């Protein structure tokens, strides 16, 4: 038997030294997508792959890609303990998990500060345009999906552009970092030659195609689409955290924090995915809460503040609670659908 083994690839930076407060390492882990959802959350099924305090994330991903491609070419012989026979495993990358900044780097994206700020589509606009009525409305329209081929072509275009003189305005429009050339040249040819020499020095003998994002050409992996939304920072530490701050402001202003704490303490947590809600801690450290607090609060807030805040605030918390439940259910359903398919 030959089995395809889909892999979840996760990369992030961590601190891995007790002698310093922060000693940054980039680390890659993997999990097998075929596992049941409850198994994916267990530490045993998260496998360490590689880590380095010196190599860049894309250098680590290049090594990871080569390892998966080599294993997929020859296959990995293993023993099937259920059927008592040898099987051949073919690994492949299915999705890349991580926080928003790391996912942006993995798909060669500049993040939210660039004009084309979406990692999946070509929706765009300047800061002024996005702040306008029409610009804000356009953010909710469907854009054309980005593709790895299109991203590679765009990277080549940028390389060709920066090697030409007189492209300051084009670089500015593309939101690229402007670099000053410290060579006094009298002609365009001399400027171009100087830029090419500097570019060759930066490559350090490597070919340009070898320095591009290795994930953009990885088989069966679309870096713009195969990136599950990062719920922690996008939702829990995003809209929920900021709306929590605004709600606390209203409660403090109305001098209702004591009533809120009493209501929070009295909530029955048997149906929550949390052992308990420490109302005293949450209300005392209300500005320093983490993801697990917001995950629990989003489920119970409508029942606590229904007569403490304006109806518009209550409706917003109800919508956020439904959103979070929907996202978690979709994660489970997507996993089950993949296993069935």
Q: Rounded to whole angstroms, how far apart are CA atoms 97 and 233? A: 13
Q: Whose structure tokens read 């492949």? A: 92
Q: Rounded to whole angstroms, how far apart are CA atoms 218 and 54? A: 24
List, in sequence order, the alpha helices (H) in 77-187: 100-106, 127-131, 133-138, 148-162, 168-173
pLDDT value, residue 68: 92
pLDDT value, residue 166: 55
List, in sequence order, the alpha helices (H) in the chain: 37-40, 57-74, 100-106, 127-131, 133-138, 148-162, 168-173, 188-203, 231, 241-253, 257-265, 279-284, 291-304, 311-340
**In the predicted model, is pLDDT for residue 161 greater than 80?**
no
Residue 27 CA to chain centroid, in angstroms? Answer: 15
Tokens of 305: 């503040």
pLDDT value, residue 78: 94
Lowest mean pLDDT, pick from 48-52, 93-97, 120-124, 194-198: 194-198
Q: Rounded to whole angstroms, how far apart are CA atoms 210 and 227? A: 23
Tokens of 288: 């320093």
* Res. 55 pLDDT band, cuts 50 70 90: confident
* Cβ-proximal residues to 332 (8 Å cutoff; 6+ apart), any chain: 37
Tell me the torsion sign for CA atoms 50, 51, 57, 62. Answer: negative
Q: Whose structure tokens read 């929907």? A: 326
* Res. 80 pLDDT band, cuts 50 70 90: very high
**In the predicted model, is pLDDT for residue 153 greater than 70?**
yes
Residue 215: how many other CB atoms lie within 10 Å:
23
pLDDT 10s digits, 286-335: 988 988 888 888 888 999 999 999 999 999 999 998 888 887 766 655 55
What is the pTM (predicted TM-score) of this model? 0.68
* Res. 253 pLDDT band, cuts 50 70 90: very high
pLDDT value, residue 183: 43
pLDDT value, residue 21: 60
Tell me the torsion sign for CA atoms 264, 270, 273, 274. Answer: positive
Mean of pLDDT values over 21-30? 81
Q: Which of 210 and 183 is assigned the larger pLDDT? A: 210
* Maximum separation of any 2 CA atoms in the chain, in Å: 78
pLDDT value, residue 41: 76
Mean of pLDDT values over 148-174? 70
pLDDT value, residue 310: 93
The DSSP code for 278 is -
Mean of pLDDT values over 202-222? 78
Mean of pLDDT values over 41-52? 88
Of 188-197, 217-226, 252-261, 331-340, the range with the highest mean pLDDT is: 252-261
pLDDT value, residue 177: 44
Q: Rounded to whole angstroms, how far apart are CA atoms 216 and 152? A: 7
Contact present, 120 and 111 (Cβ < 8 Å): no
Please, is 65 exposed, middle or buried when counting C-beta atoms within 10 Å of its C-beta (0-12, 13-18, 19+)?
Answer: buried
Q: Rounded to whole angstroms, how far apart are CA atoms 114 and 104? A: 11
pLDDT value, residue 334: 54
Q: Rounded to whole angstroms, how far apart are CA atoms 211 and 341? A: 36
Quick one: which of 166, 167, 172 has its CA closest to 126? Answer: 172
**In the predicted model, is pLDDT for residue 201 greater than 90?**
no
Mean of pLDDT values over 59-82? 92
pLDDT value, residue 341: 46
* Res. 185 pLDDT band, cuts 50 70 90: very low
In the chain, domain spans? 2-99, 109-144, 147-212, 231-340
Mean of pLDDT values over 149-167? 76
> Mean pLDDT in the chain?
81
Q: Which of 206 and 90 is assigned the larger pLDDT? A: 90
- At 274, which helix (H) or strand (E)? none
pLDDT value, residue 188: 63
**In the predicted model, is pLDDT for residue 180 greater than 70?**
no
pLDDT 10s digits, 91-148: 998 888 888 888 888 888 887 777 888 888 888 888 888 889 988 888 888 888 888 8
The DSSP code for 337 is H
Tokens of 235: 């939702």
């Amino acid at each position: 038997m030959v089995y395809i083994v889909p892999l979840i690839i996760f990369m992030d930076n961590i601190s891995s030294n007790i002698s310093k407060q922060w000693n940054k390492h980039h680390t890659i882990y993997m999990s097998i997508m075929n596992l049941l959802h409850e198994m994916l959350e267990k530490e045993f099924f998260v496998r360490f792959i590689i880590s380095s305090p010196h190599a860049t994330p894309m250098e680590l991903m290049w090594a990871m890609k080569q390892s998966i491609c080599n294993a997929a070419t020859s296959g990995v012989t293993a023993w099937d303990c259920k059927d008592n026979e040898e099987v051949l495993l073919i690994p492949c990358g299915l999705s890349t998990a991580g926080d928003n900044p790391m996912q942006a780097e993995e798909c060669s994206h500049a993040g939210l500060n660039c004009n084309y700020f979406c990692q999946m589509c070509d929706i765009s606009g300047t800061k002024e345009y996005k702040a306008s009525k029409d610009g804000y409305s356009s953010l909710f329209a469907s854009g054309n999906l980005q593709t790895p081929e299109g991203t590679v072509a765009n990277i080549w275009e940028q390389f060709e552009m920066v090697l030409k003189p007189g492209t300051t305005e084009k670089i500015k429009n593309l939101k690229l970092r402007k670099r000053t050339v410290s060579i006094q040249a009298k002609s365009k040819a001399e400027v171009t030659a100087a830029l090419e020499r500097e570019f060759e020095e930066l490559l350090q003998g490597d070919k340009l195609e070898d320095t591009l994002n290795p994930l953009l050409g990885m088989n069966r992996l679309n870096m713009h689409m195969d990136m599950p939304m990062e719920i922690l920072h996008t939702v829990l530490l995003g809209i929920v955290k900021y709306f929590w701050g605004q709600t606390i402001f209203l409660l403090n202003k109305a001098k209702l924090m004591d009533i809120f704490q009493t209501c929070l303490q009295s909530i029955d947590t048997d149906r929550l995915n949390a052992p308990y809600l420490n109302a005293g801690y949450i209300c005392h450290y209300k500005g320093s809460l983490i993801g697990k607090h917001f995950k629990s609060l989003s489920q119970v807030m409508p029942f606590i503040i229904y007569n403490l805040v304006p109806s518009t605030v209550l409706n917003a918390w109800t919508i956020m609670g439904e959103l979070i439940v929907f996202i978690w259910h979709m994660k489970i359903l997507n996993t089950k659908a993949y296993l069935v398919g």
